[in-house]
Amino acid sequence: MTPSARLQAAIEMLDWIIAAARDNGASADNIAKKFFKERRYAGSGDRRAIRELVYSAIRRWGDRPESGRQAMLGLIDEQPELRELFTGTAYGPAAIEADEAVAGGAQIPEWLADRFAGLIDETERRALFDRAPLHVRVNGQRSTDLEVKSAWPDAVALALPHAYELPTGTQLEDKTLFREGAIEIQDLGSQAIAMAGAAAKPELVLDMCAGAGGKTLALSAMLPPESRIIAADTDRGRLSRIEPRKRRASARNIETILLAPGKEIEALDHLKAKCDLVLIDAPCSGTGTWRRNPELRWRMTPKRLDHTTELQQRLMELGSEMVRPGGRLVYAVCSLLDAEGGDQTDRFLENHPQWREISIDLPIGRPYRKGSLLSPYHDGTDGFYFTCLEKL
Ligand SMILES: C[S@@+](CC[C@H](N)C(=O)[O-])C[C@H]1O[C@@H](n2cnc3c(N)ncnc32)[C@H](O)[C@@H]1O
């Protein structure tokens, strides 16, 4: 493909991504897969170049642009070489017209800019768009740190036990050790959250928003085998991915429960006041994961944020009912917005005098709003707020 044709393809892919962000459709990554599947003529170099163009536009604009063309036109100030690719010839984008509308604004959507946690200064904001590192967790059910270190001598030990960083681009799939479940790819921040409840004894644990089980597997690896870990979620597709992951990781003590949205209690009633630990890794705006999913900025609106915080409150209420007296509730979000973090903890504690905050003993993170904050610049992790509460 010519450079001009690659630019036109990037514009078209951005149009799909913009529409999906507006209508709560597929993620940018899934759209890219579909886009290239329908364009088999694009070689690997073309794909890389198109992706690069698309993601520079997504990273650059905090507010959702009107169109892919406007998004790319807006990039010309920073990448002047793009101008001459608007050739108006076959396969290329139409020539630029005088006074054509272009995308504008900041990297962080204006309406969100003043809602970040107090610790998120200018340096942290810039780091939200850095390249995410490759973090892995050694799975003690399948392997040892020593074995993993000898398979990947470049692995650098991180601040938590069994956590390592590998050089970006390390091929994992070609190693038997990886295929057999010796390591899990997992951001250090997610590993910290699995540890936040200080689960150690044989316990009954409910991971109430388990998704595809990233933190469930981490909990299974750190708990004695006689523990029972229940992974629940409303998303059948995500939950179904736990079964193969569980087999690969030799995590035998995990059960799954599919929840019906709004009727979660029906499937959880038998666990009322029984759990030693409930983890609520709540659905959220994902502001802490922009370095991986920058297009989330184009999805969130004030209305969607309100809807999300209401759901978080409801899940916190529900999860807290499952905790036995003396048990713990860990509430976490991969967001750095106060509305989804510290505000939720305050509201919950105000309404539940029989609960108290307990301090989190981890070597990463900073104490913040009756909980802890993890952030890309300070901790090298995705951004998270989490708190650990105890039922008296
Ligand atoms: C942040 S993700 C969880 C990620 C997962 N814990 C992990 O470590 O990979 C939030 C999850 O909450 C789930 N969810 C949304 N609404 C829910 C509800 N009403 N009850 C339980 N889970 C829900 C979503 O399907 C999603 O999988």
User: Is there a catalytic annotation at residue 334?
Assistant: yes
Ligand 1, residue 239: give the atom nearest the CA.
Answer: 27
**Among 24, 220, 233, which residue has the most ligand 1 atoms within 8 Å of its CB, making it the best to mutate?**
233
Helix, strand, coil share (%) of the chain residues, nearest 5: 40, 15, 40
- The reply to whether ligand 1 has any atom less than 6 angstroms from the CB of 4 is no
pLDDT tens-digit map of 230-273: 999 999 999 999 999 999 999 999 999 999 999 999 999 999 99
Antiparallel, parallel or unpaired: β 384-391 and 371-374: antiparallel
pLDDT tens-digit map of 88-121: 988 999 999 999 999 999 999 999 999 999 999 9
Between CA 41 and CA 156 the distance in angstroms is 40
Q: What is the largest CA-CA distance in the chain?
A: 72
Strand partners, 328: 277, 390
Residue 267 amino acid letter: A
- The reply to whether ligand 1 has any atom less than 6 angstroms from the CB of 230 is no
208 Cα: distance to centroid of ligand 1 (angstroms)? 7
Mean pLDDT in residue range 203-231: 96
pLDDT of residue 188: 98
Indicate the CATH number for domain 134-185. Answer: 3.30.70.1170
Alpha-carbon torsion 229, 188, 387, 311, what sign? negative
- The reply to whether ligand 1 has any atom less than 6 angstroms from the CB of 264 is yes
pLDDT tier, 39 (very low <50, low <70, confident <90, very high otherwise): very high
pLDDT higher than threshold 90 for residue 200: no
As assigned by CATH, the class of the 188-391 domain is: alpha beta
Q: Are 160 and 188 in contact (CB under 8 A)?
A: yes
Model confidence, pTM: 0.95
For 88, how many CA atoms within 13 A lie in the half-sphere containing its CB? 3
The domain spans of the chain are 3-85, 134-185, 188-391
pLDDT tens-digit map of 263-317: 999 999 999 999 999 999 999 999 999 999 999 999 999 999 999 999 999 999 9
pLDDT tier, 124 (very low <50, low <70, confident <90, very high otherwise): very high
- How much of the chain exceeds pLDDT 70, in percent? 100
- The reply to whether ligand 1 has any atom less than 6 angstroms from the CB of 283 is yes
Which residues contribute to the annotated binding site for S-adenosyl-L-methionine?
A: 233, 281
pLDDT higher than threshold 90 for residue 364: yes
pLDDT of residue 201: 84
Mean pLDDT in residue range 187-191: 98
Averaged pLDDT score across all residues of the chain: 96
Antiparallel, parallel or unpaired: β 163-166 and 134-138: antiparallel
Name the nearest CA neighbour of 222 among 161, 278, 145: 161
Ligand 1, residue 283: give the atom nearest the CA.
Answer: 10
Name the nearest CA neighbour of 46 among 10, 91, 84, 85: 10
Ligand 1, residue 207: give the atom nearest the CA.
Answer: 6
pLDDT tier, 198 (very low <50, low <70, confident <90, very high otherwise): confident
Mean pLDDT in residue range 63-85: 96
- The reply to whether ligand 1 has any atom less than 6 angstroms from the CB of 198 is no
Residue 72 amino acid letter: M
Mean pLDDT in residue range 44-57: 96
Nearest CA to ligand 1 atom 4: 211
